[in-house]
Structure 1
């Protein structure tokens, strides 16, 4: 009896699942890598297509994160109808096709083709995320499911760091940057496009290799293909959606997650722009500060995970939101390097937010958690919809008056855009305060193991 209740009664990853688990872990790193590159390379498109406005550059983020909104629910249906393995293979296949789209983009030097390529490979990432997270949970006992998923997710920021290193030392380091006095020639623009496309073509080969290995490898079935409830009217799409929309903490969670993802995307995508305009460095050097921000994010996530054992995650999230708001004000009004430090430190405040919102929204949903999780994945659309507001300010300057003439015009424009980040943090703060008393019960943990991973809470008397 005791061995059934102890989370240490068996290994986190059973021996028979080690190889399939490692194959899935590589998928976590893969989508982390391309997500980081999508945000880091927003300023890179200016060196490939000099005619682009800031709004046009931001369309690369709209294409990337917009794909998540279109594919989240279809991906969950595919996994439910067939298997987790089918979802992973489909995701890798779509991803490979998408990144190979950079070849015609380079040949025809077309930004529209780049956007199409981004949308397709991001669709593959959406399918992968929808398939891999629950697949990892199914590879072993539910007693160790939470720790198993935590372990797999640890490789996502590793992939992010690899993506940033690729951006800094391969793409930006070989870019020819335009100047006002010396715009780029057609040959120089083509050279930049080749350096931009090369890492993606290599990623296509990696994805194809992963697809072949997983296709020929015997993988565990998991529970994704369970169709026992397919004819139960209470488990229909409409009935489930109706129940979800009757829960304020769920639908407000989806809305809050929408603005959080937009906040995170802006916080990272425009670090380089901020550094270039405020401390007068080049784009390649500005990438270093993006890497510093990612390190802050990872370190703070580890610290917050440890603190969750003692403190309420929603209260911690609210506190970090308040600190983040003050850091946004520092980014707006503090001069030079002080402002840049504030921009980097904002990332530390973001580390806790996504999983905490996710956990509060999904608490105790039971079978409804599958569709509920898809709704939260769809909220990643915020990464497509919110950053264009930031870009619109860069192009049309409707907020620089808030800096009260303290800075030159170009600098004041990017600084004032951080009011948009502050507004998103206010939304997160309100959600954290409103639902701070949401707790996890033993019944909730049994119904939905995602909750404990997301909130860091354990039922009374539980051990970790």
Structure 2
């Protein structure tokens, strides 16, 4: 969920300006790979939720704490990461982030050995802390690795690696982590204690090699970045606020308040759907865990395609109106997923990924609209709203456990999309009023 600064390079004739300055080609490639790497970590969580249900005998509500630990890491470390980078620089900030990422991945090894869920949650928190550093630094670097006129193109190119990692993660995670061995509750009840312990230990240890490999890749990337020349990022332009901006509270901007609320509910909807998509596919269609992971991957391909399609459509449709339409369609798809059965329900839920694709950056862009000197503070508040990803997945799991059906849990993202639609509606009215 990388934040893409809006309208960089707008109004500047691009001419024959290069996309990336030649001396920074390697640096750009390495930074673009960061977008890929944090998408892998984010979307591996959807595999872990199902895996921990098997390995640690967790309820769906309990397994949702995977996302709680992860997004709480983002929430608590995002602002400190920005402060640290003002002291040590963005490149060193990236190295700190990669170090934390690798440390969290390495902690999976002892966590699997002791089969302690709390240990896994600590490891996930450490990984997310590292990603907070990476996301804070990546976009500024991308903007200065070439001419201003092509900055937006560079950001879109880097963002495409995030989408690629997002859809690849379920296929990789499903192949590397899922054993394909699934026992029914009746079969488990007939196992001897020794056999059951051996089964759960084997499933817990299935994550070890995958996360050790992930740590190795991250450390290799850190070494490459350490020895690569990066541009200096100037903080000029961060002048004192105008007197009027000093007096006016950031919360006096009603559209920013609603953007924070909308982002909170959007991230909750996205993480809630993806976290339990494998459970949903298995329950409503009856496929294996590996097949369910592949279907999640296909859904995330739609997310990637949706970003490209949405960017093109916004040339002709106001972003606020498009957000309203996409949120209403997503809500309708949730209703179909709740009320129907079989493939129609699973396809409906899978299609929400396409329509969610534009929501995060669009809510962000609309929220910081017309903030002037307070744009940076407004941006931080919207970023912190991703805490919704920590709070909503356990709620989806709780409702599913209580109702006895995973489809009941989809009511949570349904409500979230309705709130996002309201924000799109209010911003569309604001744009229409300004156009008069």
User: What's the offset of the Cα at 1:371?
Assistant: 3.0
- Of 26, 29, 40, which residue of structure 1 is paired with 2:36? 29
Q: 1:367 to 1:202 in 2, by over 3 A?
A: farther
2:211 & 2:372 partners in 1: Cα distance? Answer: 39
Q: Decide whether the 8 Å contact of 1:30 with 1:159 is kept in 2.
A: yes
Q: Decide whether the 8 Å contact of 2:337 with 2:410 is kept in 1.
A: yes
Encode CA deviations 1:363-417: one digit per residue, 9 max, x unaligned: 24345333332222211111001111111112223xxxxxxxxxxxx4xx21122
1:366 & 1:90 partners in 2: Cα distance? Answer: 31
- Of 418, 421, 424, which residue of structure 2 is paired with 1:432? 424
Q: Decide whether the 8 Å contact of 1:47 with 1:176 is kept in 2.
A: no
Q: Given the alignment of the two structures, is residue 5 of structure 1 paired with residue 12 of structure 2, yes or no?
A: yes
Q: Decide whether the 8 Å contact of 1:75 with 1:131 is kept in 2.
A: no
- Of 190, 194, 204, which residue of structure 1 is paired with 2:205? 194
Indicate the residue corresponding to 1:222 in structure 2.
233
- Of 287, 290, 294, which residue of structure 2 is paired with 1:284? 290
Q: Higher mean Cα deviation, 279-288 or 97-106?
A: 279-288
User: What's the offset of the Cα at 1:426?
Assistant: 0.6
Q: Given the alignment of the two structures, is residue 137 of structure 1 paired with residue 143 of structure 2, yes or no?
A: yes
Indicate the residue corresponding to 2:410 in structure 1.
418
Q: Given the alignment of the two structures, is residue 120 of structure 1 paired with residue 131 of structure 2, yes or no?
A: no
Indicate the residue corresponding to 1:406 in structure 2.
none
- Of 178, 181, 184, which residue of structure 1 is paired with 2:183? 178
Q: Given the alignment of the two structures, is residue 69 of structure 1 paired with residue 75 of structure 2, yes or no?
A: yes
- TM-score (normalised: structure 2): 0.90
1:302 & 1:86 partners in 2: Cα distance? Answer: 32
Aligned length: 415
2:255 & 2:140 partners in 1: Cα distance? Answer: 22
Indicate the residue corresponding to 1:256 in structure 2.
262
User: What's the offset of the Cα at 1:309?
Assistant: 0.7
Encode CA deviations 1:152-199: one digit per residue, 9 max, x unaligned: 011001111221111121211x25323223226222222212222221
Indicate the residue corresponding to 1:211 in structure 2.
222
User: What's the offset of the Cα at 1:430?
Assistant: 0.5
- Of 271, 280, 290, which residue of structure 2 is paired with 1:274? 280
Matches within 5 A, 1:304-315: 304-315=310-321
Matches within 5 A, 1:62-461: 62-172=68-178, 174-183=179-188, 185-224=196-235, 229=239, 232=240, 234=241, 243-397=249-403, 410=404, 413-436=405-428
Indicate the residue corresponding to 1:404 in structure 2.
none
Q: Decide whether the 8 Å contact of 2:263 with 2:360 is kept in 1.
A: yes
Q: Decide whether the 8 Å contact of 2:70 with 2:125 is kept in 1.
A: yes
Q: Decide whether the 8 Å contact of 2:167 with 2:304 is kept in 1.
A: no
Q: CA RMSD in A?
A: 2.2
Structure 1: where are the runs of 5+ without partners? 398-409, 440-464
- TM-score (normalised: structure 1): 0.85
Q: 1:169 to 1:228 in 2, by over 3 A?
A: closer
- Of 52, 61, 71, which residue of structure 2 is paired with 1:45? 52
Question: Secondary structure, in 3 states, of the residue corresponding to 1:363?
Answer: coil
1:180 & 1:418 partners in 2: Cα distance? Answer: 24
Question: Secondary structure, in 3 states, of the residue corresponding to 1:251?
Answer: helix
User: What's the offset of the Cα at 1:290?
Assistant: 0.5
Question: Secondary structure, in 3 states, of the residue corresponding to 1:435?
Answer: helix
Indicate the residue corresponding to 1:60 in structure 2.
66
2:199 & 2:408 partners in 1: Cα distance? Answer: 33
Question: Secondary structure, in 3 states, of the residue corresponding to 1:8?
Answer: coil
User: What's the offset of the Cα at 1:431?
Assistant: 0.3
User: What's the offset of the Cα at 1:257?
Assistant: 0.4
Q: Decide whether the 8 Å contact of 1:47 with 1:175 is kept in 2.
A: no
